[in-house]
């Protein structure tokens, strides 16, 4: 007699089960199992295969559940690898001004831009930021997102940067969506240091980074490497300081001008370089050589009506792993819809449906060093899955602006159902 194995969750009869795993190679490149099934035990994937091949010794635990995914697509939970989750205020007035023809620099000169959000965020209480962050996480979850990377950067003082990162920590303890925290004190120069760049650099490197690392509030250190923000040498100093304190490097690079940010990302061993509209050919080659993931942000390209897109096709052809993200922020990409970014990735960047799915799962996980835990479906990995009410994977970016997510599963538990 077979010894029974208790299973906590069983998903079966999926029309397409996208594993994104090299263990299930097929023509699609997505590791699709037709009529697929997944068995979950203690928050991890215990078994994966065809429904007709489910082991006979599986039984449901006392509180176990079965999900019939007949006619549906099941795949890994989506990963949003570049967000600015915690901020107060909004900038719809700037949106209107841009429509009327005013430039970003004109708007910033009138007191708008990043610094207006910094002012609102500094004034906001911990509780207010916690409330706003939870609402945004709820929206992300409803779109199928199970893990995000979240950057600080709207405090730009020791006290306010710590406040933002502590809000993230509180949300991580209380919300289903996993948050990977990044310190972005180097977002821009705050107005009180407008004519004292070196003093702000000293504050970043001698006080902020040591304190953030000492409290264990961030895993990554990021910098906005642009002529209007932090120069190449300043960016190198910030990232190398972060590394000395155990913070892994990331970089906003080559968004509005070619500045060597991609090359710097390769030099310092960054996990990702993000934006990259003006990346050089050499930058692409160096990122490919060093295994730096490109995180592209089509929402910002769209929302700012940018005329230049990052060369995604060239990056992919040169061997760079390309991720897509919302860039959720109040100035340049006010959205929590990662599926919409997938559609934009197809249309603006000429990526295929397969590539945008990889970009929001496998490669997004890689950009955060999480590829061994999430981003694909393999035995032993976290049971983070979504069930979509669509006939096949190509339909997801095709039918845009609609919520196709029916069920979200995080660590083996159902955390969202679309009613």
Find the CATH number of the domain harbouring 67. Answer: 2.30.40.10
Where is the domain boundary, 348, 366, 384? Answer: 366
Instruction: Indicate whether 321 and 189 sit together in one domain.
Output: yes
DSSP class per residue in 69-134: -BT-EEEEPEEEEEE--------HHHHHHHHTT--HHHHHHTT-SHHHHHHHHHHS-HHHHHHHHH
Q: Model-level pTM?
A: 0.97
Same domain, 45 and 159: no
| Domain co-membership, 34 together with 70 | yes
Residue 371 resides in a domain: no
What range does the domain containing 138 cover?
78-366
Q: What is the pLDDT of residues 242-284, one digit of tens each?
A: 999 999 999 999 998 899 999 999 999 999 999 999 999 999 9
Q: Name the nearest CA neighbour of 297 among 285, 309, 307.
A: 309
Contacts of 198 (CB under 8 A, 6+ apart): none
Indicate whether 45 belongs to any domain.
yes
What's the average model confidence in pLDDT over 196-212? 98
Joined together, the tokens standing for residue 106 give 């004109």
* Same domain? 156 vs 290: yes
Q: Are 382 and 374 in contact (CB under 8 A)?
A: yes
Nearest-angstrom CA–CA distance, 347 and 296: 13
Within this chain, do residues 35 and 90 fall inside the same structural domain, yes or no?
Answer: no
- Does 248 reside within a domain? yes
Task: Select from 343, 366, 389 the last residue of a domain.
Answer: 366
Q: Quote the radius of gyration of the chain (alpha carbons, Å).
A: 22
116 and 11: one domain? no
Confidence band (pLDDT; 50, 70, 90) for 2?
low
Q: Please report whether residue 245 resides in a domain.
A: yes
Here the CATH number for the domain that contains residue 278 is 3.20.20.140
In this structure, are 136 and 30 located in the same domain? no
| 130 and 15 assigned to the same domain | no
Burial class (CB in 10 A: 0-12, 13-18, 19+), 285: middle
User: Contact, 125 vs 318, CB < 8 A?
Assistant: no
Q: Are residues 348 and 406 in the same domain?
A: no
The percent of residues above 90 in pLDDT, for the chain, comes to 93
**71 and 85: one domain?**
no
- With CA atoms as reference, report the closest residue to 215 among 247, 172, 175, 178: 247
For 308-323, the pLDDT digits (tens) are: 999 999 999 999 999 9
SS3 state of residue 61: strand
Instruction: Report yes or no on 36 lying in a domain.
Output: yes
Burial class (CB in 10 A: 0-12, 13-18, 19+), 138: middle
Domain end (from 328, 346, 366): 366
Please check whether residue 153 lies inside any domain of the structure.
yes
Q: Tens digits of per-residue pLDDT, 224-247? A: 999 889 999 999 999 999 999 999
Q: Are residues 147 and 231 in the same domain?
A: yes
What Å distances lie between residue 348 and 170, 276, 309, 315, CA to CA? Answer: 36, 14, 7, 14
Q: Is residue 165 part of a domain?
A: yes
Number of domains in the chain: 2
Question: Are residues 285 and 335 both part of a single domain?
Answer: yes
Instruction: Report the C-alpha gap between 209 and 158 in whole angstroms.
Output: 9
> What ranges in 203-324 are assigned the alpha helix state H?
209-215, 232-244, 261-268, 281-290, 298-303, 312-317
Report the C-alpha gap between 416 and 419 in whole angstroms: 9
């Amino acid at each position: 007699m077979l010894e029974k194995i208790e299973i906590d969750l069983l998903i079966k009869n999926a029309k397409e089960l996208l594993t994104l795993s090299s263990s299930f190679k097929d023509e699609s490149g997505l590791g699709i199992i037709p009529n697929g099934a997944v068995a979950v035990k203690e928050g991890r994937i215990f078994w994966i295969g065809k429904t007709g091949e489910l082991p006979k010794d599986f039984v449901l635990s006392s509180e176990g559940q079965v999900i019939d995914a007949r006619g549906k697509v099941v795949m890994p939970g989506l990963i949003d690898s570049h967000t600015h989750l915690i901020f107060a205020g909004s900038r719809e007035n700037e949106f209107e001004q841009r429509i009327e023809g005013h430039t970003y620099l004109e708007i910033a000169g009138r007191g708008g831009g990043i610094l207006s959000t910094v002012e609102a965020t500094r004034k906001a209480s911990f509780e207010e930021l916690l409330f706003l962050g939870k609402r945004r996480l709820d929206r992300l979850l409803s779109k199928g997102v199970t893990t995000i990377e979240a950057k600080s950067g709207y405090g730009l003082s020791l006290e306010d940067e710590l406040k933002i990162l502590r809000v993230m920590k509180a949300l991580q303890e209380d919300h289903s969506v996993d948050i990977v925290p990044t310190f972005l004190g180097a977002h821009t120069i705050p107005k009180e240091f407008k004519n004292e760049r070196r003093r702000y650099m000293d504050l970043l490197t001698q006080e902020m980074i040591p304190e953030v690392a000492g409290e264990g509030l961030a895993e990554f250190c990021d910098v906005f490497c642009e002529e209007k923000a932090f120069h190449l040498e300043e960016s190198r100093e910030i990232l190398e300081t972060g590394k000395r304190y155990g913070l892994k490097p990331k970089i906003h690079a080559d968004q509005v001008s070619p500045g060597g940010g991609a090359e710097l990302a390769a030099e310092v061993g960054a996990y990702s370089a993000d934006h990259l509209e003006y990346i050089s050919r050499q930058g692409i080659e160096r990122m490919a050589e060093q295994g730096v993931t490109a995180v592209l942000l089509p929402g910002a390209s769209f929302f700012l009506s940018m005329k230049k897109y990052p060369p995604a096709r060239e990056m992919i052809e040169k061997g760079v792993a390309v991720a897509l993200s919302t860039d959720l922020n109040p100035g340049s990409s006010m959205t929590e819809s990662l599926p919409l970014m997938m559609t934009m990735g197809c249309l603006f960047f000429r990526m295929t449906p397969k590539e945008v799915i990889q970009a929001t799962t496998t490669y997004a996980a890689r950009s955060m060093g999480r590829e061994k835990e999430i981003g694909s479906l393999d035995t032993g990995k976290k049971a983070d899955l979504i069930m979509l009410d669509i006939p096949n994977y190509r339909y997801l970016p095709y039918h845009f602006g609609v919520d196709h997510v029916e069920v979200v599963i995080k660590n083996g538990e159902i955390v969202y159902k679309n009613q």
